[in-house]
Amino acid sequence: MDKEPNDIINEVTQGDYKYGFYTDIEMEMAPRGLTEDTIRYISAKKNEPEFLLQWRLKAYHKWLEMTEPTWANIHYPPIGYQSIFYYAAPKQRKELESIDQVDPELVKTFEKLGISLEEQKRLTGVAVDAVIDSVSVKTTFSDTLAKLGIIFCSFSEAVLHHPDLIRQYMGMSVPYDDNFFATLNSAVFSDGSFCYIPKGVRCPIELSTYFRINAANTGQFERTLIIADEGSYVSYMEGCTAPRRDENQLHAAVVEIITMKDAEVKYSTVQNWYPGDKQGKGGVYNFVTKRGICKGNNSKISWTQVETGSAITWKYPSVVLMGDNTIGEFYSVAVTNNYQQADTGSKMIHLGKNTKSTIISKGISAGFSNNSYRGLVRMGKKADNSRNYSQCDSLLLGDKCGAHTFPYLKVENKNSIVEHEATTSKISEDQLFYCNQRGIWNEGAIGLIVNGYAKDVLNKLPMEFAVEAQKLLSISLEGSVG
């Protein structure tokens, strides 16, 4: 009964990572390390057109000249870029006609993760592209979507069947030389999802990509490209898990979104990569570049993320508000526990007139973790009558963790308005006592309080994700008293 607050923290924050299993499937791998040959190997494996190989090589040579960024509030030993496998793919027959042809072990893996690749998935109204290690194994519903003119397939398939779209849009949001990790991705990306919504089409179902790292010592470098043509709409979800391993795994993905006039893309992520064990051993290094361009007037891009995983998260989903009257949104809940580190936030670049952006960031830190919000709001010279509202809240559970806020503002226009609010709070002993007195045990109490704190963001998630995210928050962070 007379427990110290810290005992309670320990007790309730020790929720186990339930996706830590490993599937034994036959893999095809590139030789360890990164050289021009590795890149030629990947490109040849995928029968890529010459322009893409050249793009990769250009990125590779640029990357060789770049240095790893050190400005983020994260600490980790040097990454051995030459000891990573840059390509790992489940061995399987070339063209998959139906689910029956997918390796049963793979199907089982996804079922364990709660993702059914069967066509019955239709009932839940979600189309899934499943990416395991470096390769997309199965995309459901492509046929149904094709009738509406929607292209939803793996990136590799898009390269083969729609090379013009790739050529036109790849690198528009995130250029090949954007930053160290994005440039590495540009050189070695293996697969990912591709989505094109034609003019005036509202995608009737949620599209979803599910990423899974399986093989050991592999980097995962997927690349997602979403193009919403004039007046179209799509809601896109991304989920991720990885096995429990003692060594760190590198994940350096790129997501690009482009919206034309009057189009809207809603991108939701529930990131649950393996966070490492309670001593901070192992876990995924998540260095991701996500950026959208509101290219056409009146278009809108919205990022919603719930981040509970990864040993290190380095991620700033951003929107470039290029067209007039465009809207950018970023809603984030980032949870860190044990020895996790997160440096995450958003960039809103206002270029067009009457553009609006909103940033709502809720950081939750427990254990010995460090959680930083880093955000940039820029009002360009021509961004007349533009507005940004940023709200960054931090919730601390315990007294060994850290929360930091690094807002950057760059205002070059006198007619624009930028607002920034920040708060830091702790779960108070009074709140816990109140819950306990009603018969709610600490675990449930902390789940309630944390979910209440994150409600504004969780409300933005699609239904299919919201329930999962709420549970995830309670599990990964049922913890603690200030």
Partner 1 sequence: MLKISNLHVSINNKEIIKGLNLEVKAGEVHAIMGPNGTGKSTLASVIAGREIYEITSGTIFYKGKDIQTMSIEERASEGIFLGFQYPVEIPGVSMTNFMKTAVNEQRKYRGQDPLNSTDFLALMEEKKKLVEIQSNLTNRSVNEGFSGGEKKKNEIFQMAMLDPALAILDETDSGLDIDALRVVANGVVKLRRPDNAFIIITHYQRLLDYIVPDFVHVLFEGRIVKSGRKELAMELEERGYEWLKNGNF
Q: Which residues bind partner 1 (CB under 8 A)?
A: 1-3, 428-431, 433-441, 444, 448-449, 451-456
Copy the structure tokens of residue 146.
């094709």
CA–CA dist 456, 333 (Å, integer): 10
Copy the structure tokens of residue 411.
């205002």
- Kindly tell me which of 1 and 463 has the beta carbon lying closer to partner 1: 1
Q: What is the smallest separation between the CB atom of 7 and partner 1, expressed in angstroms?
A: 12
Q: Which of 46, 52, 43 is nearest to 157 (CA)?
A: 46
- Kindly tell me which of 14 and 425 has the beta carbon lying closer to partner 1: 425
Residue with tokens 């699609």: 462
- Kindly tell me which of 3 and 91 has the beta carbon lying closer to partner 1: 3
CA–CA dist 4, 6 (Å, integer): 5
Q: What is the smallest separation between the CB atom of 421 and partner 1, expressed in angstroms?
A: 15
CA–CA dist 51, 77 (Å, integer): 36
Q: What is the smallest separation between the CB atom of 447 and partner 1, expressed in angstroms?
A: 8
Q: What is the smallest separation between the CB atom of 423 and partner 1, expressed in angstroms?
A: 11
CA–CA dist 260, 444 (Å, integer): 45
- Kindly tell me which of 101 and 459 has the beta carbon lying closer to partner 1: 459
- Kindly tell me which of 119 and 429 has the beta carbon lying closer to partner 1: 429
- Kindly tell me which of 51 and 433 has the beta carbon lying closer to partner 1: 433
Q: Letter for the amino acid at 298?
A: N
Q: What is the smallest separation between the CB atom of 455 and partner 1, expressed in angstroms?
A: 4
Residue with tokens 């960031």: 361
Angle at 349 between CA 348 and CA 351, to 5 degrees: 140
- Kindly tell me which of 321 and 334 has the beta carbon lying closer to partner 1: 334
Copy the structure tokens of residue 33.
């390390």
Residue with tokens 């793996």: 154
Strands (E), 213-321: 223-228, 233-241, 248-251, 254-259, 264-271, 283-294, 300-307, 312-315, 318-321
Q: Is the Cα dihedral 177, 179, 182, 185 positive or negative? A: positive
Q: What is the smallest separation between the CB atom of 449 and partner 1, expressed in angstroms?
A: 6
Q: What is the smallest separation between the CB atom of 78 and partner 1, expressed in angstroms?
A: 41
